[in-house]
Amino acid sequence: MSHTVIETAANGPFEGDGVSPAAPRIDADQRGGPIPAGGIWDGVLYFQRCRWCRTAVFRRLLCPVCGSTDMTEERSDGIGVIHHVTVVGRSAGRPRAMAIIDMHEGFRLRARVSAVPLARACVGAQVRLGFGPQPQEIAFQLCDA
């Protein structure tokens, strides 16, 4: 587990012990923005991996295996296999395929699958990351499409 120490005037560093009183600035990423907690950033899919047990998860606060909050962000290759698919009918607009996808890195996520006709989006079909009609929407395309 991670522990946090809060410095106060009583337990802060002294001027003579060679420690700077200001906390060092940690630039965790070169992208210039915050690291996404799982999701799309500049067209790349990111997921989390527990630093304790190495379990891969998507958009979680706690590791489902060990309960740790110490997660690191990793880049996904964007390739997966459909585990479950449902065609969702909408009152306005065309129906769409929503699927649970097993990613090669070992995590699952729920996303939209673009397939014409929708019957091609079936269990076991290999998919790759695509782009949805909305910004930051996670959508996949069939690999053979």
**Vertex 33 angle, CA 99 and 52, to 5°:** 65
pLDDT(17) > 50? no
Residues 102-116 have a mean pLDDT of 91
Report yes or no: 95 and 115 within 8 Å, Cβ to Cβ.
no
Least confident of 15-24, 67-76, 121-130: 15-24
pLDDT at 38: 59
pLDDT at 103: 96
Give the H/E segment covering residue 82. Answer: strand 79-88
Instruction: Give the residue, 11 or 138, on which the prediction is more confident.
Output: 138
In whole angstroms, give the CA distance from residue 55 to residue 87.
Answer: 30
Instruction: Give the residue, 117 or 6, on which the prediction is more confident.
Output: 117
pLDDT(60) > 60? yes
Least confident of 10-19, 75-84, 115-124: 10-19
Residues 49-59 have a mean pLDDT of 94
